Chains A and B, each alone.
Chain A
Amino acid sequence: MKKILSLVLALAMLLSIAAIPASAETTEVFRYDQPITLKVSVFDRGNTGGTAPDNNHWTQWIQENFGDPRNIKIEWVVIPRSEEESKLATLMMDEASCPDICFTYNESIVTDYVNQGGVYELSELVDKYGSTLKSFLGDEVLEFGKFAGGQYAIPARRVVVAWMGMFIREDWVEKLGMEMPKTKAEFLDVLRAFRDKNPGNVEGGCIPYAEGADLRYELPLIWSFYKDLSQRTLACEPSVAHDGYEDFLLYMNTLYNEGLISPDFALDTTGEGQWNPVTAGTAGGYTGDYDHPIRVSPGILSALRAYEPEAKLTPVNCFESATDPTKYYHPVYAAAGLLNFVPVYSQHPEAAIMYLDWLCQYDTIYYLQNGIDGITSDLNADGIPVVKDVDADHHDMVYNSMQNIDYTLLVNGQWLDTDEKTMKAQALSYQGFADLFEEEYVVGNYDSILGGFHFDVPLPANSKYATTLADYEKQILVKCTMAANAEECSKTYKEMLEQYMAMGGKEVMEEKYAAWDAAHAE
């Protein structure tokens, strides 16, 4: 009897140790004497059927596990995803409502505020409270948050740096008895075949390749026309001024005039007009992030397959470079993603760093990305969690954004503690499309060239003109693509390029060259 009892006791002890929740803090946490408030920004993607981004299971969990132990009350400031920049600007005007943690993908906005002295310099605080943060991100990533030598932003770490992909319906290609294209010319042929032979049997004809109004991101295609791929040129010269850009415009012009892209692409300012025909099966292809079709949100491939189970959206890798026809360059992101910063209005910048540090802890990331086993994810045979849809009872645990990225501010991509597991988890996070992930990943990283550049010094002209110039660039793209013929296209391009350079483009370019040369002068 006694023996059994002691065994049971021992077992009970073992079990109780194992039952300690993974998120238990084993080190001491700094607890405030008086409760303080920490305002954190959160994107609102406006998804119908989602949860309120500032009030759901995840926000509650964060409050319980980060806020309560430290006597911090977290308040969420909602930023509509499409208004990201204008909302940030208005928030920065009001010290009372400005969040303690703001973020943006746009480096020139951060530099603008740094120049005005509106952002906290964080190196000391990071040294003191951000040890996990430092080891998680590493110097390379942190470098992207440095301006004028100071650590003003904490960038997110990208798990995957592949950037854009261009996808077409491989099943249509197969139906036509053709092969996936291997050159630009073949790409045109495939699209023409889509147009003429309508392999999808779309009533009224299909859209061979769906486009939205923002043509700046056809990156594998655009970069294949560039003649100078040195880092210096790519970083400093505006893309519209690159040697070879005109050829890209002429190519798009051909696509448009031959009826190979959406006729109303210019009207589609949100990108939705591009996705809708693809989801509906009326378009033969489109451009998106390297993994876009298999992303859980917006779920393009899964929605398409609900009606056409045999549909395949495969990335093409056929845009041979003008510099070397054996190379198919794909620009990739820099290792750093979202830039998080702390405005000077913040009363408790150290709490902000503590929060960002906490967000780098394994357990935090694990929970936010994978949730509770059985409900939001299932552990597979390898011990890797596979994310899945929640049932109606757990609606408040819905992921408003893929991989819960809206809350995991410092990691962009599914992450586990080893690289191998990370890649597996990333693949599995696509809920059934893990095999496709590998293919897209390979293509997205094929012959990669770094496409993201960081300038460490303030660039006042860039801050001033960047948005207007970006707007104008979009106009150039649209107008040239829709030109009546090749001569018109070239003519319009030359005129608008001149205008672009005159309205600040030249100033920005010279500023960047100066900064680059200064930084690289040995």
Chain B
Amino acid sequence: MSSPAAVKPGKAKGRRYLGSEIVFNVILTIFVLLCVLPVIHVIAKSMSGRAPVLAGKVYLIPKELDFNAYVSVFNDPTMQTSMFFSIQWTVIYTALAMVSTILLAYPLSRHYLPGRKVLMIIVLIPMYFTGGTIANFLWVKQMGLIDSPWSLILPIMTSTYNTIILRNFFESVPASLEESAKLDGCNDMQILLRIILPLSTASLATIALFYAVARWNNYADVRYYINTSSKFTLQMKLYQVVFASSSSDVSMVEGGKNSVLAETIQCAAVVFSTVPILIVYPFLQKYFVQGVMIGAVKE
């Protein structure tokens, strides 16, 4: 493992390590700016008027404020349908996935469980050995799930990766709690529900977000499994708008052509489809760091 940063020789052992402080802060600031600026750029473009966007003059601030693109997007009934469909099924998916993951991670975290090693292997293999698109498609079809929203839920209901994270967290709960509960006569299910889960909110919140984001952003399975347009998720719609449509003309609603630029519409569509997640995650952010532990920490 190479050194992440060259060791600066002979730094003064002052109370504040000013040198590294500055370097760290600068690097972090640059990185954060890089993360944020493109997003701001898209937002700015989505609200800008025709001429500045065309001339490429919009950088971070909207020029000639113009919300026509959003009007188009909001007025589009198919966009609305997709939004509701996506939210609804993301919530369902997250709930089911959480249940399944908890029920898998907890037994795995109990080291005394006979067969745990075998279990671990059973759980790990599918992470690397998959059927691939075609075999998966044929199977989903076999199960009669084509064009059903359940095809977007059941096949991916438990993620091995998330299970490992949760398992590790469960492992870190002090054993004494379990022992005393057992002495009081609780069975494993009660221990899980009454003791472990309440202590695990950080981890649970994090994993719930992992699942929600994954489901929200994934459109590959929608492409193959869904045939009805009312069941397209928002990202699938977005894929069409950004990559595949002849959206040069817009607003067939009003009598004339609204002449909103395709580019602006695309930016508005991007903002539209990312906003739900952006609203949710800052609330859950405080849980993230506490919630995720992978691997033991060496003493």
Touching chains A and B, CB distance < 8 Å: yes
Task: List residues of chain A with CB under 8 Å of any chain B CB.
Answer: 44-55, 77-78, 80-83, 86-87, 90-91, 93-94, 96-97, 203-204, 269-270, 272, 275-276, 279-282, 296-300, 302-303, 306-307, 389-392, 395, 398-399
Q: Is the CB of A47 within 8 A of B55?
A: no
Q: Is the CB of A275 within 8 A of B248?
A: yes
B146 contacts the other chain (Cβ, under 8 Å)?
yes
Q: Is the CB of A48 within 8 A of B147?
A: no
| Cβ contact of A50, chosen from B223, B228, B252, B255, cutoff 8 A | B252
Most A C-beta atoms less than 10 A away, residue of B76, B228, B229, B243: B229
Q: Is the CB of A91 within 8 A of B227?
A: yes
Q: Is the CB of B77 within 8 A of A51?
A: yes
Q: Is the CB of A52 within 8 A of B252?
A: no
**With known contacts A48-B245, A78-B229, A90-B224, A204–B56 Cβ distance under 8 A:** yes
Q: B56 — which chain A residues lie within 8 A by C-beta?
A: 204
Task: List residues of chain B with CB under 8 Å of any chain A CB.
Answer: 50, 54-56, 72-73, 75-79, 81, 137-138, 141, 144, 146-147, 223-224, 227-230, 237, 240-241, 243-257, 259, 261-263, 265, 269
Q: A55 — which chain B residues lie within 8 A by C-beta?
A: 229-230
**With known contacts A47-B247, A299-B257, A282–B54 Cβ distance under 8 A:** yes
**Pairs A-B, 5 closest by C-beta atoms:** A82-B244, A46-B240, A299-B249, A46-B245, A298-B248
Q: Is the CB of B244 within 8 A of A93?
A: no
Q: Is the CB of B261 within 8 A of A48?
A: no
Q: B230 — which chain A residues lie within 8 A by C-beta?
A: 52, 54-55
Q: Interface majority SS on A: helix, strand, loop or mixed? A: loop
User: How far apart sit A503 and B46, CA to CA, in the bound complex (Å)?
Assistant: 45
Minimum CB distance partner of B224 in chain A: A90
Q: Tell me the smallest distance from the CB of B85 to a CB of chain A, in Å.
A: 12
Q: Tell me the smallest distance from the CB of A518 to a CB of chain B, in Å.
A: 35
| Cβ contact of B255, chosen from A306, A307, A391, cutoff 8 A | A391
Minimum CB distance partner of B227 in chain A: A77
Q: A94 — which chain B residues lie within 8 A by C-beta?
A: 137, 141, 146
Q: Is the CB of A395 within 8 A of B253?
A: yes
Q: Is the CB of B254 within 8 A of A392?
A: yes
**With known contacts A52-B229, A78-B229, A282-B54, A389–B144 Cβ distance under 8 A:** no
Q: Tell me the smallest distance from the CB of B72 to a CB of chain A, in Å.
A: 5
Q: Tell me the smallest distance from the CB of B29 to a CB of chain A, in Å.
A: 31
User: How far apart sit A44 and B259, CA to CA, in the bound complex (Å)?
Assistant: 21
Minimum CB distance partner of B256 in chain A: A389
Most A C-beta atoms less than 10 A away, residue of B56, B250, B252, B265: B252
Minimum CB distance partner of A282 in chain B: B54
| Cβ contact of A96, chosen from B55, B141, B228, B261, cutoff 8 A | B141
User: How far apart sit A77 and B72, CA to CA, in the bound complex (Å)?
Assistant: 26
Q: Is the CB of A45 within 8 A of B246?
A: yes
Q: Is the CB of A303 within 8 A of B252?
A: no
**With known contacts A275-B248, A297-B249, A391-B255, A80–B240 Cβ distance under 8 A:** yes
**With known contacts A45-B245, A96-B141, A272-B262, A82–B77 Cβ distance under 8 A:** no
Q: Is the CB of B240 within 8 A of A280?
A: no
Minimum CB distance partner of A90 in chain B: B224
Q: Is the CB of B77 within 8 A of A279?
A: no
Q: Tell me the smallest distance from the CB of A95 to a CB of chain B, in Å.
A: 8
Q: A77 — which chain B residues lie within 8 A by C-beta?
A: 227-228
Q: A272 — which chain B residues lie within 8 A by C-beta?
A: 245-248, 262
Q: A269 — which chain B residues lie within 8 A by C-beta?
A: 243
Q: B76 — which chain A residues lie within 8 A by C-beta?
A: 48-50
Q: Is the CB of A299 within 8 A of B255?
A: no
| Cβ contact of B227, chosen from A78, A276, A300, cutoff 8 A | A78
Q: A50 — which chain B residues lie within 8 A by C-beta?
A: 76, 78, 252
User: How far apart sit A87 and B251, CA to CA, in the bound complex (Å)?
Assistant: 27
Q: B259 — which chain A residues lie within 8 A by C-beta?
A: 279, 303, 306-307
